[in-house]
Amino acid sequence: MNNDALQALVEAIARDDFGRTFKHHAYFNRRLRTTGGRYLLGSHDIEVNPKQYEAFGEAALIDIIKHELCHYFLHLDKKGYQHRDADFKALSKRVGAPRFCAPIESYASRANYIYVCTKCHTEYMRIRKVNTSRMRCGKCGGRLKEITKQ
């Protein structure tokens, strides 16, 4: 799928599910890493993560588009467009837009550091490095020790 096909799909979903027209641009953005899509407040454009489409197919892409269109239409109507707002929750429920998209990689595969408690031997996986002189075990309060990831 290319950007033109994505634009046509977004316009069709806006017309069919929302009963309104989408008047801005929708395109793929390969730089998105942790999100399925993004509504840009300034330009009113919608960016979509192509990795979601490649990993989960068109059904996941449609869910992402519905979610971003909820932000789009509510923002243009000057209503609550943020996730915590009642307007957003009601519109999302009405059109069947999910709150989150499925992660492409699991947390375990993304974790770069593994720490173990010296007291209770609980393991903690982390993506970012932890200051072991300040951080303690959440279960027993013991000291953490970094171990090498296999």
Beta strands in the chain (DSSP E): 26-28, 37-39, 46-48, 113-117, 123-126, 144-147
**Nearest Cα to 125, choosing from 137, 143, 111?**
111
Q: Please tell me whether 71 is known to bind a ligand.
A: yes
Q: Is there a catalytic annotation at residue 54?
A: no
Given a contact cutoff of 8 angstroms between Cβ atoms, the answer to whether 138 and 120 are in contact is: no
Q: Please tell me whether 121 is known to bind a ligand.
A: no
Biggest CA pair distance of the chain: 60
- Catalytic residue among 11, 58, 68, 146, which? 68
**Nearest Cα to 88, choosing from 75, 102, 70?**
70
As annotated, the binding site for Zn(2+) includes 67, 71
Q: Mind telling me the catalytic residues?
A: 68
